Amino acid sequence: MTDAALTLSAVDRNRALGGLAAAFAIWFGAFLSGFVINEPAPYELYMVGLIGLWVLCGLKFPAAIMPLMVLLLLFNMGGVISMMTMDDWKDAPLYVAVGFFLAFTAIFFAAVIAADGRRLEIVMNGYLAAAVLTGLLGIVGYFNLIPGSDVFTRYGRAMGAFQDPNVFAPFLALPTLYCLHGVLTRPLEGALWRLPLLVILSFAIFLSFSRAGWGLFVLCATLLTAFLLIASPSPRFRLRIAALAAIALVAVVAALLVAIQIEAVRDMLIERARLVQDYDRGQAGRFTHHLIGYMKATEHPFGIGPLEFGRRFGVDTHNIWLKALFDYSWLGFASYVTLVLWTLGAGLRIAFRDRPWQPLLVCALIVFFGHALVGNVIDTDRWRHLFLIFGMIWGCIALEARHQREGSIAGRPTPGRSIAI
């Protein structure tokens, strides 16, 4: 073998090793998003280093993700403006800094996915692995199967490796929907390994006793089923989807009947199943504070400072739109609303196109829509996985833009409205 051939072989080997290292680094970042017991979490420390290293190595930011970058930065600049209205900053600078960090994570994941569409699957696999592990921790903790495992519960509700069951359950939504998509659309051998994961994740969501988590799961599963029925041109495939959906519904009902035989589960289910809890209504209720907050927001165009709403009114906002108004000023509110609508619109525009990344895009877009609705009753601006979902969707938007551009240059027609099965 010649020296040139040996050199070429070494270069190829180094590239392969570099590609594997990059793939694992991205996978591990997504994986760490599922473990936020304390702050700063390992996710923050790891992602700061990873983003910095990738930028130094020449990470490129395609034009297609510029709306994400600009609107997230404006959103957090609104937080800076709001902080300036405070006489005592307290821990506001750290809060604003974390906001900027989360924005950078969304931009980072969008950029690395845009550079190589195969990384979308890597990100999702890391997310799925984290969800299964933290879901199992929540289940083990709920039933106290291991001494000391009750640390993974709060108020008799599973929360896995999170600080709150109401964050734990929404975190599981995307991996659960991804597994459901596989069960509904894959051949038998591809669906079989996803089925036990689907059972674990859905059971963990149930044990969180989070009304937002339950509603998010039901909404996402319904929308996914509807999307598959509408998008597929095959009557046979539609019949399969309908049959599997019916079987899944029967299985869920059967599982609930079994679960309520356990007294603790039954009591908690009855308590949490009420649509409106005591702390939601009345003069001191959540929704009353929402109404008062929206009226007060008209008096504070620059906001009142991060976390000040709770100090002034004695209760947290529990509403991302209200929080944006007070913690991020009118500029932050307008930026965030624009970003949410732009993400939904741009994602929906390409969701029906037959692409390798289409299944994950559809799942991420549906879950993102659900999170936008959940934001009416929960603050979501610190949910790491939401910014990961932002990155996944905008990475797909950038991939589609490149696909269209390359197809135009090559003079190839681009496929129209169809779904990849």
Q: How far is CA 348 from CA 121, 340, 420, in A?
A: 20, 12, 16
Identify the pLDDT of residue 291.
Answer: 77
Strand-pairing partners, residue 417, are: 353
The residue type of 208 is S
The SS3 call for residue 154 is strand
Mean pLDDT (the chain, rounded) = 87
Q: Give the closest residue to 392 by CA, choosing from 353, 362, 371, 369.
A: 362
Q: Give the closest residue to 320 by CA, choosing from 311, 333, 309.
A: 333
pTM of the entire predicted model: 0.90
Query: pLDDT (tens digit, 9 = 90+) per residue, 51-82?
Result: 999 999 889 999 999 999 999 999 999 999 99
Cα distance between residue 388 and residue 113, in whole Å:
11
Report whether pLDDT(284) > 80: no
Cα distance between residue 206 and residue 139, in whole Å:
10
Cα distance between residue 134 and residue 162, in whole Å:
8
Identify the pLDDT of residue 420.
Answer: 45
Output the CA torsion 232→234→236→242 (10° steps): 20
Identify the pLDDT of residue 330.
Answer: 95
Q: Give the closest residue to 32 by CA, choosing from 45, 14, 19.
A: 45
